[in-house]
Every structure is written in C-alpha cells, then in structure tokens.
Amino acid sequence: MLNETMTALAAAGGTAFAQAAGTHWYDRPRSITARLLGRGDAERERAVAQQLDSTVAGLETADDPEAVAGRIRQEAAIWFGSLLMNLDDAAREEAAGQLRELIRLAEEATAAAPSGDHIEFSGDFKAPVLGKGTQNITYRRAPRR
C-alpha cells in the first residue's frame, strides 16, 4: 500500500501530465512519463509513448475536452500509483524524483502561460472591445502625417 505522500505525488503527477496533454510543451512530460512507465525497457517505453499519444489525441476530437482531460488526469494518476506501488524503495525514490520533475515542468509552463487576452490597436480605432476574462489592451496613436 502506498503511503499518503506517494499517493499525493501520483495524483499530482497525473494532473501535471494532463496539463501537458495536447500543449506545445507536451514532449518533455511525454518522455518523462514513457521512461517512468517503461521502466528501462526501450520497447516498452515506445509502446507507452504510443499509448500516451493515443490517449492525448482524444483531446483534439472530443466534444468535451474538459471531460477528456479529467479522464487523462485520472488514468495518469492510476498509472503512476501502480508504478510506485510495484517498485522497491530505491526505485520508488528515483521514480518519485522524476514525478517531481514532471510536476515542476507543469508548474513552470502554467506560470509562463499568458492569462487573458492581449489586444493592441493603433490608428483610428473607435469601437467597443468585447472579450472574456482579463484583457490587456494597448492603444497606440497613429503617427501624424
């Protein structure tokens, strides 16, 4: 049975992987996850990577991407929990370190992601601006001729 720390780490790793799924920064989390779940077997790593890609591909065609992301988060947490449960102490600590790296990558990518809309205008613009959430609006006057 996993202790609470390892269970929380598996869940956080699942969330981190789900955050990466389908984004421009997916490659590194994908390779960490494939290496973790492949456990040193190159053929198994390739198979895991293909399974990950297949699962993530569902995001692009889903009617409800949030539901698919939730499923990916749950599946990844189960994968990581199962992995941690089946390792000896030394291997478990190494896997935990790789999960922490995955979580760190997700935190960095999320922190760096722009929030809200960025809108720039110049010239003779006279209209309302409609949008959602946070908007960063810059208006620049056109140079006089």
| Mean pLDDT value across residues 41-57 | 88
The type of residue at 26 is Y
| pLDDT greater at residue 119 or residue 71 | 71
Q: Label each residue of 45-111 as H, E or C.
A: HHHHHHHHHHHHHHHHHCCCHHHHHHHHHHHHHHHHHHHHHCCCHHHHHHHHHHHHHHHHHHHHHHH
Q: Identify the three-state secondary structure at position 6.
A: helix
User: How sure is the predictor about 144, in pLDDT bands with cuts at 50, 70 and 90?
Assistant: low
Do 110 and 126 form a contact (C-beta atoms < 8 A)? no
- Taking only the tens place, the pLDDT of each residue in 98-132 is 889 988 888 887 776 555 555 555 556 566 555 55
Q: Taken in order 74, 80, 84, 85, is the CA torsion positive or negative?
A: positive
9-29: pLDDT as tens digits? 888 888 888 888 777 778 888
CB within 8 A of 72, min separation 6: which ones? 14, 17, 18, 21, 55, 56, 58, 59
| Domains in the chain: boundaries | 4-112
